[in-house]
Amino acid sequence: MQKIDDIIEQIQAILKIGPTEVIGIDIGQSAIRVAEISIGKKGIKLEKFAYKFLPEGCLIEDEILQPEEIVNAINECFAKISSKNKQVCIGLSGPNTMSKRLQVADGADEEITDQVTWESEQYIPFGAEESVLSYSIMDRNPGGGVDVMVAAAKKDVVESYGTLIKAANLKLKIVDLDLFALANVFEVLYADKIKKEKDGILVIDFGAQKTNILIFHKGTIVFTREMSIGGVVITEEVQRQMSLSYNEAEDLKISGDENGNIPEEIAEIIKVNLENFLGEIKKTLTFFMTAANDVSLGCCYVTGGASLTPGFLEGLERTVGVPIVQINPFESMSYNEKDFDEMELNYIAACGCVALGLALRRIRK
């Protein structure tokens, strides 16, 4: 027998009523992060946010190794936010996803879709036939070309994450890429900056297992890259060299000893690994600047839990040669002060941008 909730949902779809909002779920290697946002006449408001740290090894890149632990963490987060909305948007990342800006000839929607599908095949490393593909039009050029941003993910990865959401008794409505969730929240928070800035704007999300890089220029995204390197590399090296548990190594890396000081041997481990990471950032930017010789960087915005690593911001500023600004969602987003303390707000600002970007998506009707 069909469930009454399913019947109601079908009726709402026919009548085009019901919630268009989704709950954003960021399924990361280190934690599950869940955000609920409302958009009204007074602007954007963070209603609820919850997170749950995951045991080590639950998720490696996009491979789900401990599904029960992840489902339990999702359920705990939803219990904390107590939302009636069960429609969710998740983000994907890793080697079985792809994003690329392409230019194709303008035309009818079907013609553009056919061209995008054909052009994308050469850039999808896991095979076009095994992928789910989508695109959005970024700009139309005077010469008749259309700039599109393409996103693709391997079908079985989408299905495996969908199985997680179903097991948590939620409804998966939108699948996004973490890269575009980051772009989404940045575009909302810094819309005026993006429009007014004549130079390129670099955005970096330095996470546990990956680093997302975006470059905006003249109001639109001109470059994206996901790097499979993150703060966990430093933590694991501290863990190995100092014979510590993972959590002990993470605490020592970020917070130091009982006096708040970073021991000299830990500082050296951090320094060596950060230099390797910043070297990769420099290579990426050199590649972009060579290809787009009319774009120069004017500023750099940073987020991600690993960006709190001592010495990272200073080293990044030396590497990119422009001012560094840490993203603060609460410059443009309101919240109830009684619902969040200062520690939670700091955590959301550093680690919650992808979840916020996913929650800002809307269901098309």
CATH number for 87: 3.30.420.40
Choose between 16 and 214: higher pLDDT.
Answer: 214
First to last CA, the chain: 27
**What pTM was estimated for this model as a whole?**
0.89
- Confidence grade of residue 142 (pLDDT, cut at 50, 70, 90): confident
Amino acid at 3: K
DSSP for 242-255 reads HT--HHHHHHHHHH
pLDDT at 12: 40
- Confidence grade of residue 138 (pLDDT, cut at 50, 70, 90): confident
Average pLDDT rounded to a whole number, residues 277-302: 90
pLDDT at 3: 52
Q: What residues contact 202, with CB distance under 8 A and at least 6 apart?
A: 213, 214, 215, 285, 297, 299, 300, 301, 320, 322
Residues above pLDDT 90, as percent of the chain: 60
336: exposed, middle or buried (Cβ count in 10 Å: 0-12, 13-18, 19+): exposed
Do the domain assignments include residue 247? yes
Do the domain assignments include residue 117? no
- Same domain? 230 vs 88: no
Do the domain assignments include residue 143? no
Does position 19 have pLDDT exceeding 80, yes or no? no
Average pLDDT rounded to a whole number, residues 124-136: 88
Could you give phi then psi for residue 215, rounded to 5 degrees? -130, 125
Do the domain assignments include residue 237? yes
Amino acid at 227: M
- Same domain? 164 vs 301: no
Q: What is the pLDDT of residues 64-98, one digit of tens each?
A: 999 999 999 999 999 999 999 999 999 999 889 99
- Same domain? 214 vs 256: yes
Q: What is the pLDDT of residues 299-349, one digit of tens each?
A: 999 999 999 998 999 999 999 999 999 999 998 999 999 999 999 999 999
Do the domain assignments include residue 293? yes
Whats the size of the chain, residue-wise?
365
- Same domain? 170 vs 208: no
- Same domain? 343 vs 324: no
209: exposed, middle or buried (Cβ count in 10 Å: 0-12, 13-18, 19+): buried
Q: Using N-to-C axis directions, what is the helix angle for 67-81 and 155-167, rounded to 10°?
A: 50
- Same domain? 294 vs 339: no
Does position 37 have pLDDT exceeding 90, yes or no? yes
Instruction: For Cα atoms 190, 193, 196, give the angle at the middle one, nearest 5 degrees.
Output: 150
Cα pseudo-dihedral 170, 171, 176, 182, rounded to 10: -50
Nearest alpha-carbon partner for 150 in 185, 188, 112: 112
Do the domain assignments include residue 108? no
CA distances for 173 relative to 131, 232, 340, angstroms: 18, 31, 28
Average pLDDT rounded to a whole number, residues 47-55: 95
Average pLDDT rounded to a whole number, residues 38-50: 92
- Same domain? 172 vs 65: yes
Do the domain assignments include residue 124? no
Choose between 157 and 56: higher pLDDT.
Answer: 157
- For the beta sheet containing 131-140, the strands, ordered from the edge strand earlier in sequence to the opposite edge, are 97-105, 145-154, 131-140
- Same domain? 207 vs 244: yes
Q: Residue 211's domain spans which residues? A: 196-328
- Same domain? 184 vs 279: no
- Same domain? 186 vs 207: no
- Same domain? 161 vs 201: no
Could you give phi then psi for residue 176, rounded to 5 degrees? -120, 175
- Same domain? 69 vs 184: yes
Do the domain assignments include residue 127? no
Looking at the structure of the chain, the number of domains it has is 2
Nearest alpha-carbon partner for 221 in 190, 250, 248, 251: 190
